[in-house]
Amino acid sequence: MKILVVGGGGREHAIIWKLKQSRNHDIYCAPGNGGISELAACVPIKPTDIEAVAAYAKRERFDLVIVAPDDPLYMGLVDKLQSAGIRAFGPTAQAARIEGSKVYAKYLMKKYGIPTAEYEVFDDFAKAAAYVKGCPMPVVVKADGLALGKGVVICETVDSALSALKEIMLDKMFGEAGNRVVIEEYLEGPEVSVLAFCDGKTILPMQSAQDHKRAYDGDKGPNTGGMGTFSPSLKYTDEVRNAAEETIIRRTVDALNAEGVLYKGVIFFGMMLTKDGPKLLEYNARFGDPEAQVVLPRLKNDLLEVVEAVLNGTLDRITLEWDDNVAVCVVMASGGYPGKYTKGVPISGLNNVREAVVFHAGTAVKDGAYVTDGGRVLGVTALGTDIQDARKKAYAGVNEIFFEGAHYRTDIGLK
């Protein structure tokens, strides 16, 4: 089968790696990255260039296009491909609103009784500022739109909340995504991510994962796109899972159907396991990154068969099967990330990694060698009999790799 995967990060590398495990598909990637180029033909088209991607897909007669990142989904790439008669995996722009607008997502949660934090929405800075001055701290400030996974700020004090509001609403740190903000109560408890395949009526949750969003050890520093993750979460017990599936996961599908939204693709549920039960923090309308790098290696099924079932509306005939091993992914980032960082730094030692898979997130090939080309550069994933075994193998892989300024957390999987 001739497949185009849209995107160029660690998530896309993991998707292509998984597709290649079961069959030798003819895979292309737009734009891809250095590591992906070993498995697929990379074409220099930006995922957000909707017209160019659709034209290329039509010209090259792809059997399937998998749209992985958030921006092109919310911009309507799947709609564009479908209108051109091309089979595309991923939600339509209407369905992707659950991630593209946090205001819409909170509206959906509130209307259909999906447990979540209390919140208020503001499009005026002065009113938002006045509101936080009367709030008990901490609070969470969220940009309404897409912000590369960085539009959520946990504010410990009124001053930090005011600073976050200024950066988002006035300084436009995230552009138009900050025209509106959601200010919500701070929830306490372990945070768990659950990805699920959905064909519009049936939803199949995958194994749980636990992300590490903050830049530094001990969950310190600014939020990032994710510094590492592990799967499964020991906190996501059978009892918690049953509650989450009943009150959050399946209720979401019912809510979307009630709103007249046909959702086909992957839904990411970011949940907080509070003393009052699981509560929903946010949706993503696609595979998480780096969650995909620990969930997909544990999936025993042929990924393409599951994707086909989603598109055909036959997901009820699929039973997901999982490797019992634990997976740990450690992200190696450029020095300075999530702030300013340098690109083009040579990477060495990749061939020395023995017991882990290295997913490339921000790499390129220059003069036949790998160099850094992004903030998050690599995701080193290992499977083990338990969390300690997987951690040992993942960090052994990390220790074999070198690039100047490399930054990574040393506590992935400890919490």
The pTM is what?
Answer: 0.94
Write down the pLDDT at residue 146: 87
pLDDT of residue 67: 98
pLDDT of residue 148: 73
Positive/negative CA dihedral, 20, 24, 28, 34: positive
Structure token digits, residue 411: 């506590």
Over its C-alpha atoms, the chain yields an Rg (Å, rounded) of 20
Residue with tokens 């990694």: 353
Report the pLDDT value the prediction gives residue 147, as an integer from 0 to 100. 83
**Six token digits for residue 30:** 């737009």
223 — pLDDT class (breaks 50, 70, 90): confident
User: Residue 150: is its pLDDT beyond 80?
Assistant: no
Domains and CATH numbers, the chain: 2-92 (3.40.50.20), 118-185 (3.30.1490.20), 191-317 (3.30.470.20), 326-400 (3.90.600.10)
**Confidence grade of residue 90 (pLDDT, cut at 50, 70, 90):** very high
Looking at the DSSP bridge assignments, the partners of residue 382 are 328
Provide the mean pLDDT of the chain.
Answer: 96
| Alpha-carbon gap, residue 205 to 267, rounded angstroms | 9
What whole-number distance in Å separates Cα of residue 158 and Cα of residue 164? Answer: 10
End-to-end CA distance of the chain: 42
- Tell whether the model's pLDDT for residue 66 goes beyond 90: yes
Q: Of 310, 320, 283, nearest to 97 (Cα)?
A: 283
Q: Provide CB contacts within 8 A for 213, sequence distance 6+.
A: 219, 223, 224, 226, 227
Give the separation between CA 57 and CA 74, rounded to whole angstroms.
Answer: 19
Residue 340 has pLDDT above 90, yes or no: yes
Which residue do the tokens 């660690």 mark? 10
What local confidence, expressed as pLDDT, does residue 389 receive?
A: 98
Which pLDDT belongs to residue 24?
80
pLDDT at residue 177 greater than cutoff 80: yes
> Which residues are registered as beta bridge partners of 383?
327
Does residue 168 contact residue 150 with C-beta atoms inside 8 Å? Answer: no
Q: What is the maximal distance between C-alpha atoms in the chain? A: 59
| Among 174, 288, 316, residue whose Cα is nearest residue 231 | 288
The predicted-structure confidence for 352-388, as pLDDT tens digits, reads as follows 999 999 999 999 999 999 999 999 999 999 999 999 9
- pLDDT greater than 80 at residue 415: no
pLDDT at 272: 96
B/e letters for 87-99, b = 16+ CB within 10 Å, e = fewer, are bbbbbbbbbbbbb
**Mean pLDDT value of segment 325-330:** 98
What is each CA distance from 332 to 199, 215, 226, 374, 405, in whole angstroms? Answer: 34, 11, 10, 11, 10
